[in-house]
Structure 1
């Protein structure tokens, strides 16, 4: 529960912070900031993601005590890459000193530092999750959010340049890890260099295909934001970026929180009961992910007009709702790939199909960029991204569900989640045209009650059974 609470806190503060920075920087500078942020995410993925993924797959409370070379390998690889990236950031900053903070060199330095900050924080957060230390994870996320919120908002207010905001973001990530460095450490043990080489080879074989796929998926929004900036200017890129960021966070935050818990359960099942048990857990996890993410996507679409009118800065209104509505289906497909389909390939350690899906998605996005913008304008770029992600999802689903070892999904639960979400969407559609405050105040509780009632009545994805089991386990503890 601490992990879920941490992600709720993280999502809420990031949502507010994104709106504040968008307002303080303005559409053009926010477009530059968003482009640099997308570049930082791509850079972090290429350099650090293989280690973060290896931490979630191979590190655990048992490994912490019995196989210390896993942590040694992770720490040393991170230290080497972080040192190289920091040197590159300082080099870019040196070239940008004379030209000022708005120069390309300064922005590249800020991008590199942001990638370094993301990598350092995500790695240590992954270690806490892999140990099932929910309290430590919550402290990490809470402290990071407090520091980054204060630092980035103050920087955007006093020094409204994308470069300075990126540096504030990077510093807040590193400071958080430094302040909690003691509980994050493992017991001191001698380093065995032969074991280090073995672990690095294991990490590379497991993580490189996932890195390639993730980098391609992160390249898509970077490419699309660059295209829209080139064709329609940085202000239009800012409109697109805010819509994409808010929509992505609305759909992926809960999915990420679920994945942090559910994937570790699958790894634990494999450790104690074997591969077959782990694959059954992955299938059950997929049903839970769909049952909780699909109503989020439908609900976000339903409240989009009210959300735009009430919380989106005035300069972004109009384009925000258009872009967000077009991006929802594709970002939902991306969430399902990340949190429902990818885990089966991770458990089997056969991650090459994930690359193939990403390549198909990038190709579809590229074809869409050639065909759609001339037909429908800037909105075609959002449609191109949705097209690419939908094609990638379709291919990966086909690969997971067919072949000699198909993933056996609980189709009844998936169908129930789809039907319940459809009922909720139909009930909320008339409210989209109401006054914004009324629409938001009525839609959110009505959607939750309606969907929740259907889930409880039909025990969709076994959620009612899970809640009942949790309550039964809690009763003796309360009695004591």
Structure 2
């Protein structure tokens, strides 16, 4: 029995290590992409790419993200042949294909009648439809791989997607001077290729029978997923509304300048937090389903501390050393703006990630999905006026301050709502320790922000990270023991 438990633990560690490696490599390649694009594209070209990609991801969130979340919660069936409920899978594929086919004539009409929509030029819409199709396919493929703990399949899809999109995009931009279109074609081509290859080689998906869904399964999907349609759309809408505000007031070149700061956080700190979410979510679902609510809430609380241990110090260090970080990672045309905006963007990004990866997940687990609309609705209601006023008063800095204010307000209100339905302690001895340690570390680095030469900045980043990791390593047992509740003793 002891040997069996040891083997099981080793197997789980191995699968977790593979997933972590996939996300680490993918994150590194995505971060490298940001560096490459800020050196190859002008601010106006990067602004076009940022606005187009934001629009695609917004449409994906509004139309397809609810299906990904529904698949994460309803597809897993340990008794099924491939650990996926075949009836639910058929129903999901029917809905996905139906929606993407309905969108095709819309995209072609926008192109044919030269209609500008969401600030995007008409000629972009056919390519954006393909991009949207690739996002949907790739997301469903990776979700099902994670649910079934097919770590090597997940590894192959994530790393191949990132490497191909960078390689193809760089060739199209560098040798064919295709600008933002080259970047977009590289991404959608890589996603379609990886998703099709993944599905063709997966026995579970080869057995799909689209458009043969049972009415009862479609109703179950809609009952769980319908509230997510509005919340997902609003959630991503609130995340990209700042780009549309900047575009309408300051132009696309300003969108390019502004978006680099947001993308820098997204492709570094937030992606690391996403890696924890992708690895932890299946375990939390299994705990709720197999071991009961108390066990699930325990893992939920522990994961919050892990999110905080990754996000808080990284955001504090990057914000404190923003001039050096900008000089180290982005092209000359973007450095001054990144150095100026990064501290404000860091605050908003961390709170947004904690809302998405922790508070929203808590409501999904107890199937209170109707309440998910609260956070993005409040955030959007705060962001639009604060962002517009901020841009008018202080340009891009005012926009960054506006998103920080709106995210603080929506996070606080949403936590009050979530805590009524799920035990999700945020103020614990562990969380307070991590936040204070991160702030102290950031404050200690602020006087050194003038050392912006690449070698000096790398040295400071490495030293700060080493000090933090040593402190956390020494106190790791105490931190996890105190992750459940506040105990002043």
Note the alpha carbon deviations across 1:413-461, whole angstroms, 9 max, x for none: 1112112213322333333221422432222222222111221222267
Which of 73, 82, 89 aligns to 1:57? It is 73
Which of 108, 116, 123 aligns to 2:133? It is 116
Residue 261 (structure 2) aligns with: 243
Q: Does the aligned pair in 2 maintain the 1:96–1:106 contact within 8 Å?
A: yes
- With over 3 angstroms needed to count, the CA separation of the structure-2 counterparts of 1:103 and 1:297, relative to structure 1, is closer
Following the alignment from structure 1 to structure 2, what is the Cα–Cα distance between the partners of residues 144 and 459?
Answer: 35
Residue 142 (structure 1) aligns with: 159
Tell me whether 1:26 sits opposite 2:15 in the alignment: no
Q: Does the aligned pair in 2 maintain the 1:342–1:354 contact within 8 Å?
A: yes
Equivalent residue of 1:132, what SS? coil
Note the alpha carbon deviations across 1:380-430, whole angstroms, 9 max, x for none: 1122122211111111112223x3654345712111211221332233333
Tell me whether 1:289 sits opposite 2:330 in the alignment: no
Residue 445 (structure 1) aligns with: 462
**1:149-188, aligned counterparts within 5 Å?**
149-157=166-174, 158-186=176-204
Q: CA deviation at 1:378?
A: 3.0
Residue 474 (structure 1) aligns with: none
Q: Does the aligned pair in 1 maintain the 2:235–2:376 contact within 8 Å?
A: yes
Equivalent residue of 1:433, what SS? coil
Which of 417, 441, 444 aligns to 1:399? It is 417
Q: Does the aligned pair in 2 maintain the 1:213–1:358 contact within 8 Å?
A: yes
**1:379-418, aligned counterparts within 5 Å?**
379-401=397-419, 403=420, 406-409=423-426, 411-418=428-435
- With over 3 angstroms needed to count, the CA separation of the structure-2 counterparts of 1:126 and 1:342, relative to structure 1, is same
Residue 252 (structure 2) aligns with: 234
Aligned positions, number: 462
Q: Normalization by structure 2: what TM-score?
A: 0.87
Which of 253, 278, 290 aligns to 1:260? It is 278
Following the alignment from structure 1 to structure 2, what is the Cα–Cα distance between the partners of residues 103 and 292?
Answer: 36
- Structure number with the higher helix fraction is 1
Following the alignment from structure 2 to structure 1, what is the Cα–Cα distance between the partners of residues 324 and 362?
Answer: 38
- With over 3 angstroms needed to count, the CA separation of the structure-2 counterparts of 1:194 and 1:170, relative to structure 1, is closer
Tell me whether 1:205 sits opposite 2:257 in the alignment: no
Following the alignment from structure 1 to structure 2, what is the Cα–Cα distance between the partners of residues 360 and 187?
Answer: 39
Which of 337, 341, 344 aligns to 1:323? It is 341
Tell me whether 1:37 sits opposite 2:53 in the alignment: yes
Q: Does the aligned pair in 1 maintain the 2:320–2:446 contact within 8 Å?
A: yes
Deviating more after overlay: 209-218 vs 122-131:
209-218
Superposition RMSD in Å: 2.8
Following the alignment from structure 1 to structure 2, what is the Cα–Cα distance between the partners of residues 96 and 110?
Answer: 15
| Structure 1: runs of 5+ lacking an equivalent | 467-480
Q: CA deviation at 1:253?
A: 0.3
Residue 7 (structure 2) aligns with: none
Q: CA deviation at 1:348?
A: 0.6
Residue 294 (structure 2) aligns with: 276
Q: Does the aligned pair in 2 maintain the 1:269–1:277 contact within 8 Å?
A: yes
Following the alignment from structure 1 to structure 2, what is the Cα–Cα distance between the partners of residues 156 and 111?
Answer: 18
Following the alignment from structure 1 to structure 2, what is the Cα–Cα distance between the partners of residues 185 and 255?
Answer: 31
Which of 324, 327, 344 aligns to 2:362? It is 344
Residue 441 (structure 2) aligns with: 424
Tell me whether 1:127 sits opposite 2:141 in the alignment: no
Q: CA deviation at 1:376?
A: 1.9
Q: Does the aligned pair in 2 maintain the 1:30–1:162 contact within 8 Å?
A: yes
Following the alignment from structure 1 to structure 2, what is the Cα–Cα distance between the partners of residues 456 and 165?
Answer: 40
Q: Does the aligned pair in 1 maintain the 2:199–2:206 contact within 8 Å?
A: no
Equivalent residue of 1:3, what SS? helix
Q: CA deviation at 1:240?
A: 0.5
Residue 48 (structure 1) aligns with: 64
- With over 3 angstroms needed to count, the CA separation of the structure-2 counterparts of 1:115 and 1:188, relative to structure 1, is closer
Equivalent residue of 2:40, what SS? helix
Equivalent residue of 2:71, what SS? helix
Q: Normalization by structure 1: what TM-score?
A: 0.88
Q: CA deviation at 1:52?
A: 0.8
Note the alpha carbon deviations across 1:233-258, whole angstroms, 9 max, x for none: 22111100111111222231011110
Q: Does the aligned pair in 1 maintain the 2:172–2:178 contact within 8 Å?
A: yes
Deviating more after overlay: 38-47 vs 109-118:
109-118
Q: CA deviation at 1:75?
A: 2.0
Q: CA deviation at 1:188?
A: 6.3
Tell me whether 1:371 sits opposite 2:389 in the alignment: yes
Deviating more after overlay: 418-427 vs 130-139:
418-427
Equivalent residue of 1:318, what SS? helix
Q: CA deviation at 1:154?
A: 1.5
Q: Does the aligned pair in 2 maintain the 1:60–1:130 contact within 8 Å?
A: yes
Equivalent residue of 1:208, what SS? helix
